[in-house]
């Protein structure tokens, strides 16, 4: 094992700056999957489970969603919520049992609600309640991808080290080009965040500046004219 005194942020910066870093690249059509941008994880003023990395994260996500709708490409929002018993959280919900614990995000609770700053289209967008880290696990997301004939999955939300990572691994495993706009994902601590951005970049996804994703989407719009 290679040892280093560099921080996770420094290691990520090295990977990002490597001109020889090969990309998977964008494909012909994408789906936007916004993962768990719910108050339990976004409202730092209300819940200690929440976190913020880039203060403009939700603004960027809204812009991505608007560009996807202009292309008539699918926009997906996920959230987690559980029964009063918590049994649908399975073994994942057994390590702690406090008001802040995962399995205590109940249906209809404020913690389960999408952040009010998000611009969603209740008629056009797709909404999934997921129970486990990956949005592909026991949801209809795979079928939606097949129906829309997408070859690229763009991921936003949180956490970078948890659900984003799980989604990226599942996305790659299903044969999709996977894109993570750096400014659109967040985590509780910079160490987890940057360590996982590094690993995602090296193995499972293209971690890109969000502006590059905007430019890709704008180019697709130009091609539809």
Report the catalytic residues: 163
| Residue 116 dihedral angles phi and psi, to the nearest 5° | -65, -20
List Cβ neighbours of 28 (8 Å cut-off, separation of 6 or more): 151, 152
Contact indicator for 216, 84 with CB cutoff of 8 Å: no
DSSP state of 130: E
- Count helices and strands in the chain by DSSP H and E runs: 7, 7
Apex 91 CA angle, 85 and 92, nearest 5: 90
DSSP state of 95: S
Q: Convert 164-180 to b/e letters by CB count within 10 Å (16 or more is b).
A: bbbbbbbbbeeebbbbb
List Cβ neighbours of 105 (8 Å cut-off, separation of 6 or more): 38, 40, 80, 81, 82, 111, 112
């Amino acid at each position: 094992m290679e040892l280093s005194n560099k921080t996770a942020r420094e290691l990520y910066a090295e990977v990002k700056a490597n001109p020889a870093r090969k990309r998977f690249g964008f494909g012909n059509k994408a789906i936007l999957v916004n993962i768990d941008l719910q108050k339990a994880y976004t409202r730092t003023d209300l819940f200690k489970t929440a976190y913020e990395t880039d203060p403009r994260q939700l603004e960027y996500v809204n812009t991505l969603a608007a560009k996807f709708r202009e292309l008539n490409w699918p926009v997906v929002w996920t959230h987690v919520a559980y029964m009063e018993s918590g049994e649908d959280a399975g073994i994942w919900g057994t390590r702690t049992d406090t008001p802040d614990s995962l399995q205590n995000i109940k249906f209809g609770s404020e913690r389960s609600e999408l952040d009010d700053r998000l611009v969603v289209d209740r008629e056009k967008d797709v909404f999934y309640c997921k129970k486990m880290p990956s949005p592909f696990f026991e949801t209809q997301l795979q079928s939606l991808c097949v129906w829309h004939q997408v070859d690229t999955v763009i991921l936003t939300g949180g956490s970078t080290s948890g659900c984003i990572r799980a989604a990226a691994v599942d996305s790659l495993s299903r044969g999709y080009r996977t894109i993570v706009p750096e400014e659109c994902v967040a985590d509780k601590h910079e160490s987890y965040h940057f360590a996982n951005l590094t690993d995602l970049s090296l193995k499972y996804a293209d971690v890109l500046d969000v502006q590059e994703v905007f430019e890709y989407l704008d180019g697709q719009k130009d091609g539809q004219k």
